[in-house]
């Protein structure tokens, strides 16, 4: 009996594509395990714990997950890139000021510099995520 050694992602994907059942689920699980590494790393750097992963694509040969803030905390994305100075307009804008309630038509926001947390998480934990994906695929193929 000969042993097959898979080297490189193209060979692995060809082998997985030949598997009759479970390829989509297998790739989905492997992607989820890798994404969990990034999620944990991003949460430790984010302003709060509201980071989630979401499946974007799952086929017999591809599984992709998105990682970022949940919908209620969409503004975390602004920290990743920063914001230029800009006007905020309303009809009217109402907020609590130091002397009581303030009504204005516009406010100039000064902007702020980027304080990224997603990219540093990816950069720091890419190897660990790759290792976890590889382990999940290896266990499934050996089974």
pLDDT at res. 123: 95
Taking 80 as the threshold, does the pLDDT of residue 53 lie above it?
Answer: yes
pLDDT at res. 59: 86
Taking 60 as the threshold, does the pLDDT of residue 88 lie above it?
Answer: yes
Taking 70 as the threshold, does the pLDDT of residue 113 lie above it?
Answer: yes
Q: Which residue has the higher pLDDT, 55 or 12?
A: 55
pLDDT at res. 21: 58
The span from the CA of 59 to the CA of 69, in Å, is 25
The span from the CA of 141 to the CA of 125, in Å, is 24
Cβ-count burial of 118 within 10 angstroms (0-12 exposed, 13-18 middle, 19+ buried)?
buried
Query: Within 10 Å of residue 116's Cβ, how many Cβ atoms?
Result: 15
Q: What is the mean pLDDT of residues 67-73?
A: 96
Q: Name the band, by pLDDT with cuts 50, 70 and 90, for residue 5.
A: low
- Given a contact cutoff of 8 angstroms between Cβ atoms, the answer to whether 23 and 17 are in contact is yes
Taking 60 as the threshold, does the pLDDT of residue 120 lie above it?
Answer: yes
Q: What is the mean pLDDT of residues 90-111?
A: 93
Q: Which residue has the higher pLDDT, 100 or 142?
A: 100
């Amino acid at each position: 009996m000969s042993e097959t050694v898979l080297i490189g992602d193209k060979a692995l994907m060809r082998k997985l594509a030949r598997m009759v059942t479970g390829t989509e689920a297998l790739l989905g699980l492997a992607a989820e395990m890798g994404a969990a590494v990034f999620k944990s790393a991003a949460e430790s750097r984010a302003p709060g714990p509201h980071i989630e992963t979401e499946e974007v694509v799952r086929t017999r040969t591809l599984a992709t997950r998105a990682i970022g803030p949940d919908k209620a905390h969409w503004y975390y994305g602004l920290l990743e890139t920063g914001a230029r100075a800009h006007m905020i307009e309303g009809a009217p804008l109402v907020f609590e000021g130091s002397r009581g309630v303030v009504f204005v038509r516009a406010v100039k926001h000064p902007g702020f510099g980027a304080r990224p947390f997603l990219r540093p998480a990816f950069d720091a934990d890419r190897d660990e995520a790759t290792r976890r994906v590889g382990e999940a695929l290896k266990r499934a193929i050996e089974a």
